[in-house]
Chains A and B, each alone.
Chain A
Amino acid sequence: MNSTMGLILSGWKKPELKELSYIRSVSAIPFGGKYRAIDFVLSNMVNSGVKNVGVLTQYSFRSLLDHLGSGKEWDLDRRYDGLFIFPPSLAGDDSGWYRGSADAMYNNLSFLKRSNEEFVVISQGNGIFKMQMDDMLEYHIKVNADITLAYRKMYDYRPVDLSRMGIIKLDENSRVVDLQEKPLHPQSDLGSIGLYMIRRTLLISLLEECIAHGEYDLVKDILIKKLEQIGVYGYEFKGYWRNISSVQNYYRCSMDMLNPEIRRELFIDNGKIYTKVKDEAPAKYNEEAEVRNAIVADGCFIEGTVENSILFRGVTVAKGAVVRNSIVMQGTVIEQNASIDYVILDKDVVLTKGKYLKGDSEYPVVISKNSVV
């Protein structure tokens, strides 16, 4: 994969994520106890040998910039290449705001042009998965595709979720013959996972052509419109994959992390998931702690009951407090005898003594960052 560079599209507005994405780009959503969503695709790229990665970002990117820094944690703080972050920049003619994914790439065409890699792997930044991209590149070269699109049989998705993604149809040679973006009535369960492999020079010319036609979107204006002219092939990804796009699927996907097989696939086999580290002491459990089926990060301090839940770094669960079926983000404090069930507490929330919050597995309650309840 020395010959491949990476582009991460870190996300447009996701109103379905409500409070979780008001203050941060969807790729920067905290996930799995210590990560942010973008860590997965970034680590996948690094683990596959990609050394030159650009991150295109638009909305509320402060926390993303803070997280990525120089790229050191992903071993992307390099003398040549490494990590490049491209927020929109206002140019003299007031242009520069990205009008779509293709426009975002076009605005940073100089990055594509000055890079030397033969191929580009383009991905969304909100997928939770572990993938070795070398196999996809091999496939891309073997079938002589212009664009290879990674897809997955979404057997474990509900129809309502399928209608939020790109659904494809393949011919017998795995060539993509139809691509419908967010169809009301999905015709198959083959969903695009928003990951594409393409020759760099071809990408540059497709972008130039797209923008020249006054169009701005990679999927709608390039992939769908050009399906007949260029060879788009489907590459099947068989592993675990979820993309974070709504509170419901954020919650479900987080809870999947309690499943040992999924955890093994994501975090242990075939390379590590890297993230920005924080210097926290190991978690401390006191006498009263009752913790079962839970993920607990460093710096937590537990004197209460925690079940079927995920605690991020530096969470305090005081005596008599009960945390069930919940996700509690960094630095949040649950005071004595407070209790939550099916709740997502964002960072630095304080749940004061004796308070009780309850959501539903389909509609978890979300408490936004820095709230005092």
Chain B
Amino acid sequence: MTKKSIIALLLAGGQGSRLGILTKKAAKPAVLFGGKYRIIDFSLSNCTNSGIDTVGVLTQYQPLKLNNHIGIGKPWDMDRMHGGVTILSPYIKESSAEWYKGTANAISQNIDYVDKQDPEYVIILSGDHIYKMDYSNMLDYHIKNNAEATISVIDVSYEEASRYGIMNANEDGKIVEFEEKPKNPKSTLASMGVYIFTWSVLREYLLRDESMQDSDHDFGKDIIPSMLEEGRRLWAYKFVGYWKDVGTIQAFWESNMDLTKRVPEFNLYDPAWKIYTPNPVKPPHYVGSNGSIKTSVIAEGCMIYGSVRNSVIFPGVIIKAGTLVENSIIMSNTQINEDCRIDHCIVGENSEIGRNVEIGLGVNVPNEHKPGIYFSGITVVGDRAEIPDGTRIGKNVMIDMFALHEDFYGCDIASGSSVYKGGVCE
């Protein structure tokens, strides 16, 4: 009875370096999303809603916020007698001490955890996508096909296909070929990084992969190809629905903005598929007599005396009179003082923006230091930054975490420039 049919292993150690300042002090799965959530909540809630009550969360990069957030798993109903949520961080072994070297290696290092739960199947998840998926249907599919591995795939456009691992499957879904980021994709079925394995089979491959010196210890690069090569039964499970990798500033901003649409593609309000997260202890939000909010998502504890348009506002944010916030994401407990204009901006937690500050002005030139991260016109302000009164800030600007008044070199921060804590570029 207590034997688990399936347990989940959630890979949450990714840095998400293309999210820039947002992941300076937090792993990508811990980044705030959608007005009260963190990105990992979507995968964790999927587990809860799919009836999976045992989840190992593998952490590595900046785990503090993540550990804090997950705690004993109570919000996801994973504070359980048997199973529940377990944080699995890299640890020192008798003869070696090593970080997780790849997705497969991370699981290999935790074989003992899985063996202890003794499940029939394991589902491997990555904690950095926004989607709702019933994993139990995927498991049924896996069992029905008598598969040894089932890979969840989503139809992407032909242009996008070369960014993903592409599964070429025959008509009934059996995978015949796998191509990692192909130049000329033969199909448009992209792997979502969600795998179900029959544990006894995966265990064998993991052990074998560990002994190979030249392996990258990666599911996509090593485990899946060698299973295919050896004629194992791999099936593609087609997922239809909203699925977003929020790995870049632009994608992160867009999928937050998606939530503000009249009928969002991604529905947070479905009572049959709730997204769980720790609830902040805050009163409901208040809209002042001259406040105005349209096409936005506003969390509890906010006080809105100004105007908000097309924005996502997290708990405890204060927006003072005369200020207009548009097309922006304002994270928890940040205060924006009087008479500001904030457009196309992501502001981190616990920051304070002075009076008369304008953000999002001028021309769209990529950031001078990190053009690969800040180029789509969105300015990002890190956690606990303080922006002085009257500052005028352009597009694609990066304001460092903890940047204080003395770190600002002037009142005009042109598009594409950066303000670093202590004035030093890392």
Residue pair A289, B290 in contact (C-beta under 8 Å): no
**Interface size, chain A (Cβ < 8 Å):** 37
Residue pair B296, A32 in contact (C-beta under 8 Å): no
Docked Cα-Cα span, A258 to B285, in Å, equals 11
A277 interface contact, C-beta 8 A: yes
CB proximity of A256 to chain B, nearest CB, Å: 13
Q: What are 8 of the A-B contact pairs (CB < 8 Å)?
A: A260-B303, A272-B281, A281-B35, A282-B268, A288-B294, A293-B289, A295-B285, A295-B286
Residue pair A292, B288 in contact (C-beta under 8 Å): yes
- Which 7 A-B pairs rank lowest in CB-CB distance, beginning with the nearest? A33-B284, A282-B35, A281-B268, A297-B284, A277-B279, A282-B299, A267-B283
B293 interface contact, C-beta 8 A: yes
A294 and B287 in contact (CB under 8 A), knowing A272-B281, A277-B279? yes
CB-CB < 8 A to B282: which residues of A? 267, 272
CB-CB < 8 A to A283: which residues of B? 285, 297-299
One of B169-177, B269-277, B382-390 contacting the partner: B269-277
CB-CB < 8 A to B268: which residues of A? 281-282
Docked Cα-Cα span, A278 to B269, in Å, equals 12
B300 interface contact, C-beta 8 A: yes
Residue pair A34, B283 in contact (C-beta under 8 Å): yes
A285 and B298 in contact (CB under 8 A), knowing A279-B276, A291-B293, A293-B289? yes
Q: Tell me which of A267, A273, A294 has the highest count of chain B C-beta atoms within 10 A of its own C-beta.
A: A294
Q: Tell me which of B36, B297, B298, B308 has the highest count of chain A C-beta atoms within 10 A of its own C-beta.
A: B298
Nearest residue, chain B, Cβ from A274: B281
CB proximity of A273 to chain B, nearest CB, Å: 7
A105 interface contact, C-beta 8 A: no
Which of B283, B286, B300, B308 sits near A294, CB closer than 8 Å?
B286
Nearest residue, chain B, Cβ from A292: B289
Docked Cα-Cα span, A313 to B299, in Å, equals 11
Residue pair B293, A285 in contact (C-beta under 8 Å): yes
Docked Cα-Cα span, A340 to B47, in Å, equals 42
Beyond A263-B283, A285-B295, 17 extra complex contacts between A and B, CB < 8 Å: A34-B283, A263-B286, A267-B283, A279-B75, A279-B275, A279-B276, A281-B268, A281-B275, A282-B268, A282-B298, A283-B297, A284-B297, A287-B262, A294-B286, A296-B287, A297-B284, A310-B284
Q: How many A-B residue pairs have CB under 8 A?
A: 108
Docked Cα-Cα span, A281 to B33, in Å, equals 11
A286 interface contact, C-beta 8 A: yes
Docked Cα-Cα span, A195 to B249, in Å, equals 54
Docked Cα-Cα span, A295 to B287, in Å, equals 6
Residue pair B287, A298 in contact (C-beta under 8 Å): no
B291 interface contact, C-beta 8 A: yes
Residues of chain A touching chain B, judged by Cβ–Cβ distance below 8 Å, are 32-34, 258, 260, 263, 267, 272-274, 277-279, 281-299, 301, 310-313
CB-CB < 8 A to A267: which residues of B? 282-283
CB-CB < 8 A to A34: which residues of B? 283-284, 300
Residue pair A287, B295 in contact (C-beta under 8 Å): yes
Residue pair B283, A33 in contact (C-beta under 8 Å): yes
Residue pair B262, A286 in contact (C-beta under 8 Å): yes
Docked Cα-Cα span, A286 to B296, in Å, equals 7
B292 interface contact, C-beta 8 A: yes
Docked Cα-Cα span, A297 to B299, in Å, equals 8
CB proximity of A76 to chain B, nearest CB, Å: 14
CB-CB < 8 A to A290: which residues of B? 292
CB-CB < 8 A to B283: which residues of A? 32-34, 263, 267, 273, 295
CB-CB < 8 A to A311: which residues of B? 284
CB-CB < 8 A to B295: which residues of A? 285-287
Docked Cα-Cα span, A279 to B36, in Å, equals 11
Which of A273, A279, A301 sits near B274, CB closer than 8 Å?
A279
Docked Cα-Cα span, A292 to B321, in Å, equals 13
A296 and B284 in contact (CB under 8 A), knowing A281-B269, A284-B297, A301-B269? yes
CB proximity of A331 to chain B, nearest CB, Å: 10
A299 and B269 in contact (CB under 8 A), knowing A274-B281, A279-B279, A291-B293? yes
Residue pair B299, A291 in contact (C-beta under 8 Å): no
A298 and B284 in contact (CB under 8 A), knowing A284-B297, A286-B294, A289-B294? yes
CB-CB < 8 A to B296: which residues of A? 284-285
